[in-house]
Amino acid sequence: MGLDLGSQVVKAVEITLEGPEPVITGFARVEIPPGGDRGAAIAEAFKKGRFRSKNVVTSVSGQSVVVRYVSMPRMSENELRQAIRIEADRYVPFELDEVKLDCQPLSRRPQKGTETDPNDKEQMSVLLVACRLQTLEEQVKAVLGQGLAPQAVDVDVFALANAWELCGLPEEAKEGEQEKGVALIDVGHVRTSINVLCGGETCFSREIGIGGHDMTQAVARRLGIELHEAENLKRNPGEQEAELQRAIAPVLEDLTSEITLSLDFVEHHEGLRVEEILLSGGGILAPGAITYIEQATARTARAWNPIEGLRIAVDRVDVEELEAWTSSLAVAVGLASRVRAA
Ligand SMILES: Nc1ncnc2c1ncn2[C@@H]1O[C@H](COP(=O)(O)OP(=O)(O)OP(=O)(O)O)[C@@H](O)[C@H]1O
Ligand SMILES: [Mg+2]
């Protein structure tokens, strides 16, 4: 089960392997009311979802997580695990005994702009992740407190990539697409997560501290209404749609300028073109948001359905609700997709 503990919405998706086929066998989405308790939302999600499994994968995001793409001399994975602490000391702004470190060699070699020559076969790219232990422990405690069995803790941006891989391009397309990038962008409540894939592998990721909450605040300010009224209006603008779009435009402008900066950086650094943006997260449901992002970034952008093509156990899942929220489920689906590796 993938449990996405978002800052506004708890999302849980259960995937069961039926033979080799991943099937969605459970789903729940519970909003945390303002000032409400996340633990209660998790408990409600488990009541609603009628899940079979207690095995849960969660994720972290935000300022307790540091992700770096570093260039290192080529070495075995064992050697890398030894060497990574020394490397981490240079890149991680926390005390090393207060973090959990992990790393993963990448198949793409370091590109332009790094200290090393891209043709140097003696170098490799390594993904380095550090997360504050306190954050991990709090999360594991929250999961254990619900009587669940935590299996792994991922990072939101990488869960996006795993969701993409679950129903994404076939192998041959990945190989043929070395010079084309696809950007997975999840616009949540308080943050936007970006992961750019090249040949199916992450080559850049970043979080921007802008999301749906900023849109709601902008609406409340412009229209002089309370936050909860602004939230309702954002979701059901009716005849006020044009006014609403004007109110959220400055937020989308800030967001897209950060996205564009990131994509330009990747393109320059990696020597590729990011052709397509796949959008997820509740924030993209705001009126006009997708069109705005598409126009402002001058790239093809569309809402991403991370469960497209997956079979749904209709006897166990509220299909109508699931389909209404598919684009919010990318992180949860990516977390659940680890069932394939279990
Ligand atoms: N119909 C809608 N129209 C506009 N915005 C919506 C709609 N439905 C949900 N949202 C917004 O989506 C956001 C929640 O999305 P999501 O579930 O992706 O966030 P989250 O995962 O809880 O947040 P984060 O990832 O930042 O921790 C909220 O800001 C909410 O206002
Ligand atoms: Mg989220």
Instruction: Give CA–CA dist 212/207, Å, rounded.
Output: 14
Task: Determine the structural domain holding residue 204 and report its residue range.
Answer: 178-304
Same domain, yes or no: 268 and 203? yes
Q: What is the pLDDT of residues 23-58, one digit of tens each?
A: 999 999 999 998 888 889 999 999 999 899 999 999
Question: Could you list the pLDDT tens digit for every one of the 342 residues in the chain?
Answer: 999 999 999 999 999 999 999 999 999 999 999 888 888 999 999 999 989 999 999 999 999 999 999 999 999 989 998 899 888 988 899 999 999 999 999 987 766 555 555 556 789 999 999 999 999 999 999 999 999 999 999 999 999 999 999 976 555 555 555 678 999 999 999 999 999 999 889 999 999 999 999 999 999 999 999 999 999 999 999 999 999 999 999 999 999 999 999 999 999 998 999 989 999 999 999 999 999 999 999 999 999 999 999 999 999 999 999 999 999 999 999 999 998 877
Tell me the CA–centroid distance for residue 286 and ligand 1, in Å. 9
CATH code of the domain in which 102 resides: 3.30.1490.300
Clarify whether residues 264 and 193 are in a common domain. yes
Confirm whether 236 is domain-assigned: yes
Residues 85 and 202 in one domain: no
Q: Is residue 262 part of a domain?
A: yes
Q: How far is the CA of 158 from the centre of ligand 1 (A)?
A: 19
Instruction: Give yes or no for residue 218 CB within 6 A of ligand 1.
Output: no
Full-model pTM: 0.95
Annotate 260-275 with b (16+ C-beta within 10 A) or e (fewer).
eebbeebeebbebebe
Ligand nearest to the CA of 282: 1
Looking at the structure, do residues 209 and 283 belong to the same domain, yes or no? yes
Counted domains in the chain: 2
Asked if residue 202 and residue 300 are part of one domain, the reply reads: yes
- The answer, yes or no, to whether any atom of ligand 1 lies below 6 A from the CB of 8, is yes
Residues 182 and 127 occupy one common structural domain: no
- Between the CA of 78 and the centroid of ligand 2 the distance, in Å, is 33
Ligand closest to the CA atom of residue 281: 1
Q: Is residue 213 part of a domain?
A: yes
Closest CA to 95 of 132, 134, 135: 132
What's the confidence (pLDDT) of residue 107? Answer: 87
| Contacts of residue 55, Cβ cutoff 8 Å, sequence gap at least 6 | 1, 148, 149, 151, 342
CATH number at 223 reads 3.30.420.40
